[in-house]
Amino acid sequence: MCLPLTSCSRVMAKADPTGAEAVPVRVVRAVAQDVPVEILAVGNVEAMDSVEVKSRIAGQINRVAFEEGQSVTRGQLLFSIDRDALERQSAEQQAELERDAAVEQQARAVVARDSASQKQSQSEADVATKLGALGVISQQRVNQLATSRDTSQAALLADQAAVEAAVGATKADRARLAQTQLQLNFTDVVAPISGRAGAVTVKAGNMVRDNDTTLVTLLQLAPIYVTFGIPEQSLAEVQRLNANGQLTVDAGTGDSLLQGHLAFIDNTVDATTGSIRLKANFPNADKTLWPGEFVNVRLRLRTEANKTLVPEFAIQDGLNGKYVWLARSGVATVAPVTVQRTYKPQNGPEQAIVASGINPGDMVVSEGQLRLTNGARISLLDTPHAATFAQ
């Protein structure tokens, strides 16, 4: 019967004609591609806008007009507060306004009457003064008409003061009425921003005071911020590149990353951590990012063109430095390499960027290196990754 091993997708090592058995290995092909220069970090999602909704008047809550956790739009009704007391107060103030407006009209009518009387008294006093100078009438009569003129003038001034007082009373009534009507508008507590509602802290039937208890907290989810830190050594390059155009930032959990743009660089380096805080702006239209969660962040600085890549696990460490095993014509060959840096793509294993030692297209051994010696014969294990690797 067949052994279970034969059911696997492995190609068993074949015997070498000289008697040495070929070493089974897996290989990947070195590739050339453009590689981004990125800073990896862990970020925290923050709502771009957060509002604690409070009542601007005191009263009893009649109705809660939304559900906890509901998405609300700006201007949407959230709470309704009892209006009865304010409506009665408004009616009283309206009546006072009408009464004082009538008093003002009456005072204006008295001013008009006394103004005509004063003009008549002034005219008579002027004529009497001329006739008295000619000796036609006595000085006593002239004095009587002058006194009558002065009395009319004083009465007119008193009437005008009464009008001004009535006008002031009317203005005060209008101001009080406007304030009450404004408070009536505040009985409908509406959403100041569009966002997602949290838990309702005060239910219908409870009393609230003005600007006291938070009724509900609203968080804006779209757009949204992701805050993260970078080493202070990278600050100068980030500032220089961002001045030429907003840098791209990817953020998310797992393999699902959203794309945003750098929006803010803090003005102080944290002396305890040696890092500086940055913020990126994300549209977050589908609400993937959630306030308070931690996400993986990639700040993309630039792209290096035509770099040679192999999986990082294919790189070996030796006494003389790093090296790889190359598969050439069925034989293993050692190739010293210089690794510039490593790069972790969004999907797939971490890659090593090789500056020298191999070329794109070379077949690099990725599994089975421990059994190899220079010049050893090899056989390739059957694997879908024998010719390439995830990019």
CA atoms of 130 and 120, how far apart (whole Å): 16
Closest among 170, 46, 41 to 105, alpha carbons compared: 170
Q: In the predicted model, what is the mean pLDDT of residues 304-323?
A: 94
CA atoms of 121 and 131, how far apart (whole Å): 15
pLDDT grade for 313, boundaries at 50, 70 and 90: very high
Closest among 140, 117, 136 to 127, alpha carbons compared: 136
238-241: Cβ within 8 A, 24+ apart: 238/39, 238/262, 238/265, 238/278, 238/299, 238/301, 239/265, 241/301, 241/302
| DSSP character string of 368-385 | -GGG--TT-BEEE---TT
Q: What is the pLDDT of residue 121?
A: 84
pLDDT at 225 over 50: yes
Q: What is the pLDDT of residue 153?
A: 87
pTM over 0.75: no
Q: What is the pLDDT of residue 20?
A: 64
Lowest mean pLDDT among 5-19, 138-152, 205-219, 299-313: 5-19
Residue listed under structure tokens 């609230």: 208
Q: What is the pLDDT of residue 254?
A: 76
Q: What is the pLDDT of residue 115?
A: 86
